[in-house]
Homo-oligomer: A and B are copies of this chain.
């Protein structure tokens, strides 16, 4: 008899274990990360770091219950890129408030793993949670952007909007669209978008971390 057994997923490590492992990666050349030479594409470093931390990727589950792991590409002390947060779909945003939002949950505790893009090494990981000031900015941007997306106006929003958060396309290519429904049920198609932390916002986070060595 064939009996299906769900593939045994390794237990996800605890937040403390992830923290300890991330700190142990400091200084490691990227070439020594597990999967180097195998992982490809723009997310290759992110995938390798997650593997090094013992995190099994699986659709629709947070990295670790209470910690979101993000690589943070640096060129010198400059944050090189904006940071992807999560998808911005009309349907989910129609039923979210800031307090219940995925953006807020994901950003509540982030373990940033700096990546030195010049030396090609992993940097010293640090934990970040939004300060009161930062949370106010994020909330204001989210409430503005989420409202527009929820009302089916996402297509009209440019990445220029928002000080901390921005809305940008997120798809394999510009031809992709997804089915969505107006609040009144009318169906339409829209290009997938996502919330990103602006590069300048990430830069502030880097500088605050450097200024507070107690955190690293």
- A178 is an interface residue with CB less than 8 A from chain B: no
Tell me the smallest distance from the CB of A89 to a CB of chain B, in Å: 16
- A174 is an interface residue with CB less than 8 A from chain B: yes
Measured between beta carbons, the chain B residues less than 8 angstroms from A5 are 175
How many protomers of this protein does the assembly include?
Answer: 2
- A10 is an interface residue with CB less than 8 A from chain B: no
Tell me the smallest distance from the CB of A187 to a CB of chain B, in Å: 13
Tell me the smallest distance from the CB of A18 to a CB of chain B, in Å: 28
Write the chain B residue with the least CB distance to A6: B175
Q: Which listed residue, B2, B4, B6, B174, touches A4 by the CB 8 Å rule?
A: B174
What does the 1/0 interface line of A1-20 toward B look like (CB < 8 Å)? 01011100000000000000
Can you list 6 residue pairs at the A/B interface with Cβ under 8 Å?
A2-B173, A4-B173, A4-B174, A4-B175, A5-B175, A6-B175
